Structure 1
Amino acid sequence: MDFVDVVDVVSAALRQLKTEPYGESYISRKAMIKVEASIEDLVRIKNFLVYDHDELKEMLEKLVALVFKIEDFAETQFLRRMHVRSVGFGGRYIFILRQMSNLKAKVDFRSDMRKIELEVDGVIKESGVIKERHPREQSDVVGFEEDKRQLVGWLTKSNSSPDLGFLLISGQTGSGKTTFATEIYKSPELKRHFKFRAWVSASEDPVSNLRSILQQLDGDSTVYMKSNEAELKEKICEILQKKRCLLVVDNNVTNPYELFEIIPDSALSDEGNGSRVIMTIFRYTFLIEYFMLEYRSSLHYELKPLKEEDAWHLFLKKVRFPDNVKSNQSSDLDYNKLKSKIIAISRGIPSAIVVLGRFLSTKKSYKECLEVLDRNPIEGNEDSVSKMLALMNSDLTSRSRPCLLYFGLFPKGFEIPVRRLLRLWLAEGLIENDDPNPEDNPAWVKLQIRGMIEIAKRRKDGSPKTCRLMPGILHDICLSKAQDIFGLFHIRPTTPVHESSDHASPSPKFGVRRVAEHGGIKHNSYEDSHMQHLRSYLSTCNTQKKDTPALEVGEFLSEVIGHRGFGMLKVLDLERVYKPELPHNLGHLYQLRYLGLRWTYLDKLPHSVSELLYLQTLDVKHTNISSPPNSIWKMQHLRHLCLNETRLDKPVGKHGISLPELQTLWGIFVDKKIPVKHGLDRSTNLTKLGLTSHEDSVEELYGWIIKLKDLKFLRLTSKNYYGQASKLELNSLSCLDNLTNLYLHGKLPKLDERYFPLRLESLTLSVSNLKKDPMPILAQLPYLSNLRLLADSYTGKEMVCPNDGFESLRSLKLWMLKELEKWTVEEGAMPILEELEIRCCHKLKELPDKLDLAYIDKIILTNMEKDFEADVRAKINRMKNSSKILKPQELPVRCHCQDDVKQVSIHFLIY
C-alpha cells in the first residue's frame, strides 16, 4: 500500500464528505477533524518513515478503514433520515427501534476511531527519535522493421518461408509484444491477403473469446449469443475450413489449450485455406514447447531488448526536445550523459523507454532531464518499469492521482467514452468540475501530458471521444492499488464470488465498495454482508443479448436496497446492458449521483426516479424512453441530462421549478407543445446544448440561447412536421463569447461578418442552403481549426478562400456540394491544413493550384469523378518532385476503407 496514494484517496473521501450533508453530525465532524490532523502529521514526517515497514503498512490500512467507517457512519445516518421522511408514521416507529440497536454501532465507531488516533500519535512520537532518511527512490515499433517485413512475408507466403501456421510472439513485460503484433496485423499486405481477420484479447472466459472471434469473422453480433461453447467451436471450425482467416490472440495467453483445440491443422496448411494464428505470450517455455510439438507449423519469435541506437531513437520520439536544444553544441556533454543514463535505466525495454520519454516530455533541455533523474535514481533492473511508473505517479497532483487509480475499474485496453469518465469522476467526488471540454479539466490534462492516458478515437469535429490507459503495464498497477485502497471488488464473468483469483478476493479488506462487471450480473453472486456498503456498480459489457432483458439487475438492486429499505449506491452505470429491469423502489437509492442507461433500449423509467434528488447525471440516450417523468424538474443537483430526441414536459405551474445546476442538455425536442418559456429558459448555466425544434419555435428558442453566456457546444436542428430540414432563422450568435463548437442543421438566413463568435474552433453546416459563398466570412475566424460543409450547405457554383484566410484551419470537409464547379484558394490561405476530405462533389473539376499540399497528412476522396482523381494524383506527384516537400511520401493508388494514414494518400470508398 503506497503512502502517497493512501493520503490522496483518504483526502478525496474527506473532501467529498465535507461538501455533502452527511458530515453534519457531531460524531462525523469530530472524526473527520481527527483524521485530517493525522494525515497532516503523516505528510509532515513522511521523509522520516520507512516505506516498507510492516507496521507502517498496517497503520495505513487502518487509516483507510477508519475513513471508510466515517463515510459509512455519516451516510447511514443521513440515509436513515431520508428514509423516515418517505415512509410515514409506521415506518418511523420501526426506525426508532432500529436506532436503539444502533447505539452499540456508535460506541464501536468511537472506540475504533480512538484506537487509530492513538496509533497515529505513536508513529508521530516515534519519528522524533528516528534519524532523518530520504524516502526510497523510486509503443512504437523501432528496431524491428526488418523482422516485421520478414514475418509478414512468411504469413502471406510472399517470400520463401517455413510452413507457418502459428506465430508465437514472446517477451518480457514491457517488451512491446502487443505493439509489434498490432503493427503486423495492420500491415496492408495482411489486409489484402486475409479478407477475414479477428483480434481478441484473451480472458479467462472461453465462451467470451469464442463469441468475440465469431462476431469479427462472421459479422453478426447477435446470432451466437445463445450458443453454448461446443456450438461456438463447431461454427469457428466451419469458418476456418471455408475461409482464409487471420486470428490474433493478445493479452499474454497463459492457458490457450481450450481456445485453440478447435483449430484443425488442415485450416492452417497451405493445401487448405492458409489461415494463420498469431499469439502474444510471456516467456513460458512449456507453452512454446507445447506448440512446437503439437503444431509442426509453429514459429516462435522472441522480442529482444532494443539496441542502443534504436532505444535512444525511440526516446527522442517521445520526449521531443525543442530544435534549439538539439542544435546547441554546449549541451553535447549533457546529451551524451542523458543518452547513457536512458539506455542504462531502460535496458532496451520499449515500454520503459516510452514511460521515461513521457515522464520527461515537459522538460526543455537535456540538463533538466538529468536533474530529474539524479533526484530520483532508478536502477536498470527487472523492476525498472514499475519504478518508473511509480515515479510518474509521484509527479501527479493529489487530485489527479485518485483519477488515475479509477482506471483500474475498467478492463485492460478498454476504450472509455470521455464524457462517461468525467461524469463518473464527478459522481465519485474525485473532481469538482466536469467541463464538457476535457482539456479544461486539470486532472485530465495532467494525466494526458504525462502520457498515462491516450485518445483512442476522436469525433468528427476533432474533440476526444474515447480514451484508454497507457501503457499496458500501468493498468495492472492501478488495479492492484485500487483493490487495496478503493475497496474495489473486481468480478470476472465466470468467477464465482467464493473462488479466489487475481482479480477477485473472497474477503475484501474494506467490504465491497465498487463492483465493475466485465460480463453479466450473476444471480446470488454476492453475499449480503459484502453489499451493504456498495457505492458504485459499473458495467463494461460490450455485447448485448438483444432478445433477453437483464432481469438480474432488478434482483441485484433489490439486494443492495435490502432490509434497511435504502442503499448507498452513488453510481449505477448500466451502459449497453440490454433492457435492465429496474426495481419500483429505485428512488430509495437516495444518494445516487449517476444513472447511466445509454444504449440499454429501455422503454420507461420507474416513477420513483423522482426521489433521486441528488442525481447529477441522467443518461437515457439510445433508449426507447419517449417521455421522461415530469419529476425531472425536481432534481436540483442535475448537471447532465442526455435524452433521445424526446419531449420534456413543462414544469407544473406558471412559475415552475428550474434546473439551476444543469450544464448539459442533449437530445431534447422542442415545439409549441413544449415551449421554452417558464421551463427551459430558466436553465441559464448550460455549457453544452443539443436539441431539435420545429421552425415555429425558433424565435422563442433564439431568445433563450443568446442568454447562455457559458455555452461552449451548440447543436441545433430545425425540422418541419414532415421531418424535413426547415428554416433556422437565427440572428447573430456573436454574443456567445465562449462558444467553440457549433453544428447547425437547417436553412440559414444570409450571413454577415459578425454572425459567428470569434472564439469558434469547430463549425459544421448542413442543409443551410447558402446561396452566397460563405468562405470569405468563415476565413476571418481566427481560431477555426475544423470546418465541415455538409450536404447542400452551399448551393453556389464557385467558392473562394481569400488571401491569408483560415490561418488556424487543420481539417476541411466538403460533402455533397452538388453545384460546386470551381474552388479557388488564394495565396497564403489555409497554411497549416492537415486533413482534406471531399465527398460526392461531382461537378468539381480540380484541386486548387495554390492549395499547399506540403503539410497535408491525409486526403480522402469519396465518390469523386475520375478526372478529379487524376488531377489530385498529378498535383501530389509534382509536389513530391519539388524542393518544397518536407518528408518522403507515398501514394497508395486504391484503398477500400478509410484508415489513419500518416502519409498523403487517396482513399476510394466503395459503396
Structure 2
Amino acid sequence: MMENLGREMVRRCTGLPLAIIVLGGLLATKKTVREWDMVRQNINSHLRRGRGCELLGVSEVLALSYRELPYRLKPCFLHLGHFPEDYEIPTKKLIRIWVAEGFVSCEHCEGVEEESMEDMAQAYLDELVERCMVEVVNRGSTGRIRTCRMHDLMRDLCLTKAKQENFLEILNQLDPSGRPVDSPSLSMMRVARSIGRLRRLAVISDGNLSRFIPSGYRRNSHMRSLLYFHEKPCHVEKWGLLKSVFKNFTLLRVLDLEGIQGNEGRMPKEIEKLIHLRFLSLRDTDIEELPSTIGNLRYLQTLDLLTWNSTVQIPNVIWKMQGLRHLYLPESCGDDSERWQLANLTNLQTIVNFPWEKCDIREIVRLKNLRKLVIDDPKFATIFNSSDVTLDLLHSLSFVSNEGSTVVRVITGCPHLYKLRIEGQIEKLPECHQFSLNLAKLNLQGSELMEDPMTTLEKLPNLRILRLQMNSYLGKEMTCSNKGFPQLKSLYLYDLPNLEEWKLERGAMVNLCHLEISNCTYLKMVPDGLMFITSLQELVIRSMLKAFRNRLENGGEDHCKIKRVSSVVFWYCDY
C-alpha cells in the first residue's frame, strides 16, 4: 500500500530531482500508511488550488514541505534566509544564534540528561537535513554537521515565506552581477515596507559601510537581530558609528559584526543599552578596546572576541555576564593587572584562550558544564593533582604540555574527550586504555616522541583524524599494523624531520580517505601498503624532495601504489 502511494506521488513529480528528493525527505518523517495518505491528499488539495493540472512542480513540493514542518522547526528554517545565496553556513555559529533568538528553550530539553539547548538546536538542524530542506556541505570528526547550505530554489521559498510572515529582510548592496545597488526607488520601497515592523535584518555589503544602518531603518525600534555579510574586506569609517545602532535598537538579541574593519578601534560605551543582547561577535574585526559598560550585558550567551588583534583591552567585567555559555577571548586580554574571577559563570560550555595570566586556573574545576577548553598554561595539568578532579562533560581540549607525566593526568581527568590537541614535549605517550574511547580527533605538535606513536594510536577504536606535526615524532621508522586504525579517515604527517621509513601493513587504515605528507624530507617513499587502501581519495604531497615526487608521478617506481587515488596534488616539491 505504501509503495503504491509512493509511486503515485513520485509520478506527479515528473522526474524533477529536487522535487523527488524533498518529497522523499518529507515522507521519511511519516511512519504509517495513514500519514502517507494524508500527504497524498495534501498534494491533491495543493494541485486543485494551484495550476489545475495533475503534475507537481518543484515549487509545489517545496511549499508542501514547509507546510508540513512542525511548528518548532519553522522559525529555524525561516532564519536560514539570512544567509546569502550559495553561502556555506557555519553550523556552530548558526546554532548559537538560534538559541540566542529563543527558537530553542530550556523546556524543550527537560527530561534529557546532560542535553543542552545547543544539543536540541543541533537536533532541529539534523531534522531539517533529514527532510532534505538543508544540504550538508561538511561534517566534522564526530559526524556532526560543520557547514551547510540551502538549494537556491529552497532559499527562494524561504525568503518568500519569511517576507509573508514579516520574519526578516535582506538589505543587499549588490545586484546579481556583483555591482553595488544604487536605486532610490528600490531603496524607498524597502524602507516603506520596513518602517516600524522589521524584526530581523541581514546586510549584504559591497565592502564599504558609510553607516551601519540606513537612516530609513532607524524607526524599527523592535529589531531583534542584525547580521552583516561581505565577500570582500568590509570597512566602516569609524566604530563610533555604532552608537546609532545601540541607541535605536535596544531590543537587539543578536549582533554579528564579524570581519568589519574600522578606524579608532574602541567599542562605544553606549553598548550598555543592549541589555537584551544574547549573541555578540567581533571575530576578525580590528576592535582594540572594550568599555567597562559591556558588563551591563548580563544576558549575553555568546561573546566572540577573536579579533585580528592578538591583544584586546578587556575590563574586569566578564564575571558580571552570568548567562555566558560561549566565551572566545584573544591571546591577550590587556595589561590590566587586576585579577579576574570566572568561577561564577557556571553556564559556560566553551572557553577559548582561558586567561590564565589574569585568572586562577583552579577555577576551571568549578565550571561543571564546560565542553570545550583551549588553554596554553603549562601548569594546567596541576588542577588534576587530586584524583577526584574530573571534567566529565569536556569533549574538546587543547593544552600545552612540558612534562610527560602531566599528559596522563590530564587525559584520565577528562574521560569523555572527542577532540584532543597537545602542544609541547611528551616524554612518553600514554597507554591506549588511558585515552578516551570516544576520541575521534588527535593533534600532536612538538611532542618530540622517540618511540613510534602508531603502535599505541592505532588501537584507538574511534579515531578518525590524526595529525602528527612539528617534531611530534623524532624516530626514523613508523609502522601501522594489520587492523590498526579501523576508523581513521584523515592522516596528516607534517614536519617529521627524522622519518625515513613508513611501513603500512595490509589491512591497516582500511577507511582512510585523505592523506597529507609535508616536509618529511628524509622519507624515501610512500609505503607499499598504500596500494591496498581502496578508500583513499585524496593525496597531498607538500614540501618534499623532487625525487620523492618523481617516484609517485606517472611512470615512477611508486605510481602503482597510488594509481587508484582520484586526486593527487603536489605543492613545492621541486628541490
Question: In the alignment, is the contact (CA less than 8 A) between 2:27 and 2:36 conserved in 1?
Answer: no
How much has 1:400 moved relative to structure 2?
A: 2.2
Q: Which has the larger radius of gyration?
A: 1
Please give the alpha-carbon distance, in whole angstroms, between the structure 1 residues aligned to 2:389 and 2:131: 38
Structure 1 unaligned segments of length 5 or more: list them. 1-330, 561-566, 719-724, 881-888, 890-902
Question: In the aligned structure 2, how far is the partner of 1:571 from the partner of 1:412?
Answer: 21
Q: CA separation of 1:681/1:338 partners in 2, compared to 1, >3 Å: closer, same or farther? A: closer
- After the TM superposition, which residues 203-218 of structure 1 pair with which residues of structure 2 at under 5 Å, given as runs? none
Q: Deviation at 1:554?
A: 2.3
Q: Partners of 1:764 and 1:449 in 2: how far apart?
A: 32
- One-letter amino acid of the counterpart of residue 715, structure 1: S
Q: Are residue 591 (structure 1) and residue 267 (structure 2) matched?
A: no
Mapped partners of 1:767, 1:806: distance in 2: 22
Query: Residue 74 of structure 2: which of 387, 395, 401 is its match?
Result: 401
Residues 319-334 of structure 1: pairs in structure 2 closer than 5 A: none
1:541 to 230, 233, 239: 230
* Counterparts of 1:488 and 1:815, CA distance in 2: 46
Pairing partner for 1:427 from 86, 97, 100: 100
Whole-angstrom CA distance in 1 between matches of 2:447 and 2:232? 38
Q: Please, what is the CA RMSD of the aligned residues?
A: 3.9
| Residue pairs, 1:77-476, within 5 angstroms | 342=10, 344-359=11-26, 374=40, 376-377=42-43, 384-432=57-105, 441-457=122-138, 464-469=145-150, 471-476=151-156
Distance (whole Å) between structure 1 residues aligned to residue 296 and residue 230 of structure 2: 28
Question: Is the Cα contact below 8 Å between 2:521 and 2:544 reproduced in 1?
Answer: yes
Confirm or deny that 1:637 pairs with 2:323.
yes
Deviations 1:246-296 (A, max 9, x none): xxxxxxxxxxxxxxxxxxxxxxxxxxxxxxxxxxxxxxxxxxxxxxxxxxx
Flag the 1:360–1:769 CA change in 2: closer, same or farther, 3 A.
farther
Q: Counterparts of 2:56 and 2:200 in 1: how far apart (Å)?
A: 29
In the superposition, the TM-score normalised over structure 1's length comes to 0.53
| Counterpart residue number, 1:223 | none
The aligned counterpart of 1:530 is: 219
Whole-angstrom distance in 1 between the partners of 2:537 and 2:196 = 52
Query: How far apart in 2 are the matches of 1:669 and 1:654?
Result: 8
Structure 2: state its 5+ residue gaps: 48-52, 110-114, 174-179
Which residue of structure 1 lines up, in the alignment, with residue 445 of structure 2? 766
For residues 69 and 335 of structure 2, the distance between their equivalents in structure 1, rounded to whole angstroms, comes to: 45
Whole-angstrom distance in 2 between the partners of 1:416 and 1:772: 42
SS of equivalent residue, structure 2 residue 163: helix
Looking at structure 2, the residues matched to 795 and 699 of structure 1 have their Cα atoms a distance apart, in angstroms, of: 24
Compute the displacement of 1:791 (Å).
Answer: 1.9
User: Is contact 1:633-1:651 (8 Å) kept?
Assistant: no
Q: Which residue of 2 aligns with 1:849?
A: 528
**C-alpha distance in 2 between matches for 1:727 and 1:799:** 21
1:909 partner amino acid: W
Contact 1:603-1:623 within 8 A present in 2 as well:
no
Distance 2:210 2:12 in 1: 44
Identity fraction in percent: 32
Alpha-carbon separation, structure 2, partners of 1:872 and 1:360: 48
Q: 1:824 to 1:404 in 2, by over 3 A?
A: same
Structure 2 residue 439 is the aligned partner of structure 1 residue 750: no
What's the offset of the Cα at 1:612? 0.8
> What letter corresponds to residue 480 of structure 1 in structure 2?
T
Report the secondary structure of 2:124's partner residue. Answer: helix
1:120-145 per-residue CA deviation (whole Å, 9 max, x = no partner) reads xxxxxxxxxxxxxxxxxxxxxxxxxx
SS of corresponding position for 2:328: strand
Summarize deviations over 1:678-710 as a string: whole Å, max 9, x none. x444323111111222x3x23435559963210
Name the structure 2 match of 1:578.
261
Opposite residue 395 of structure 2, the aligned amino acid is K
Q: Which amino acid aligns with 2:568?
A: I
Residues 1:842 and 1:340: Cα distance change in structure 2 (over 3 Å)? farther
Segment drifting more, 521-530 vs 832-841: 521-530
AA in 2 matched with 1:421: L
Per-residue CA deviation, residues 80-99 of structure 1 (Å, 9 max, x unaligned), is: xxxxxxxxxxxxxxxxxxxx
Q: Does residue 1:609 correspond to 2:294, yes or no?
A: yes
Structure 2 counterpart of 1:689, one-letter code:
L
Q: Following the alignment from structure 2 to structure 1, what is the Cα–Cα distance between the partners of residues 211 and 261? A: 15
Aligned to 1:906: 568
Report the Cα offset of residue 747 of structure 1.
1.0
CA distance in 1 between counterparts of 2:244 and 2:336 reads 34
Provide the C-alpha distance between the structure 2 equivalents of 1:454 and 1:429, rounded to a whole number of angstroms: 24
**Code of the aligned partner of 1:729:** T
What amino acid is the match of 2:43?
A: P
**TM-superposition CA deviations, 1:718-761 (whole Å, max 9, x none):** 5xxxxxx8989332413423210111111123123233211101
Q: Does the CA-based 8 Å contact 2:99-2:121 persist in structure 1? A: no
Change over 3 Å in CA distance of 1:409–1:651 after alignment to 2:
farther
The CA deviation at 1:646 is: 2.1
- The Cα shift of 1:429 comes to 0.5
Distance 1:878 1:559, change over 3 A: closer
SS in 2 for 1:540: strand
Residue 372 of structure 2 corresponds to residue 663 of structure 1 = no
C-alpha distance 439-577 of structure 1, shift in aligned 2 (>3 A): same
Aligned residue identity for 1:742: L
Alignment deviations for residues 352-392 of structure 1 (CA, whole Å, 9 cap, x no partner): 34434554567999x99986864553657786212211333
**CA distance, structure 2, for counterparts of residue 909 and residue 463 of structure 1:** 31
Q: Which residue of 1 aligns with 2:416?
A: 738
* SS of corresponding position for 2:323: coil
Three-state SS of the structure 1 residue aligned to 2:103 is coil
Q: CA deviation at 1:837?
A: 1.6
Within 5 Å, give how 1:474-493 maps onto structure 2.
Answer: 474-493=154-173
Distance 1:845 1:727 in 2: 31
Cα distance, 1:787–1:591 mapped onto 2, change above 3 Å:
same
2:256 maps to a residue whose letter is: D
Amino acid at match of 2:19: A
What whole-Å deviation, never above 9, does each CA across 1:790-826 have from its counterpart, x for those lacking one? 1211111111112312111111111121211122223
Is residue 487–residue 508 contact of structure 1 (8 Å, CA) maintained in 2? no
**Matched letter for residue 859 of structure 1:** L
Q: Is 1:708 the equivalent of 2:387?
A: no
Q: Write the letter of the residue equivalent to 1:716.
A: F
SS in 2 for 1:538: strand
- 8 A Cα contact 1:801 1:829, kept in partner: yes
Contact 2:13 2:56 in 1 (8 A): no
Alignment-mate amino acid for residue 413 of structure 1: D
Q: Secondary structure at the match of 1:784?
A: coil
* Cα distance change of structure 1 residues 728 and 399 upon mapping to structure 2, 3 Å threshold: farther
Closer, same or farther: CA 681–711 of 1 in aligned 2, 3 Å: same
Secondary structure of the corresponding residue to residue 255 of structure 2 = strand
TM-score by length of 2: 0.82
Asked if the contact 1:648–1:669 (Cα under 8 Å) also holds between the matched residues in 2, the reply is no
Q: Is the 8 A contact 2:195 2:219 kept in 1?
A: no
Q: Offset at 1:550?
A: 4.6
Q: 1:513 aligns with which of 199, 209, 228?
A: 199
Q: Secondary structure at 2:97's aligned position in 1?
A: helix
Aligned length: 539
Q: What CA deviation, in whole Å up to 9, does each residue of 1:832-885 have, x standing for no partner?
A: 2222222222222233333422121222222334554455465664786xxxxx
- Residue 683, structure 1, aligned to residue 373, structure 2: no
1:590 maps to amino acid = I
CA contact (8 A) 2:98 2:104 kept: yes
How far off is 1:465 after superposition? 4.0
Q: 1:443 to 1:524 in 2, by over 3 A?
A: closer
8 Å CA contact retained: 2:352, 2:372: yes
Question: d(CA) in 2 for partners of 1:713 and 1:476?
Answer: 37
> Which of residues 526, 550, 557 in structure 1 aligns to 2:246?
557
| Counterpart Cα distance in 2 of 1:463 and 1:391 | 28
Read off the aligned partner of 1:443 and give its amino acid letter. Y
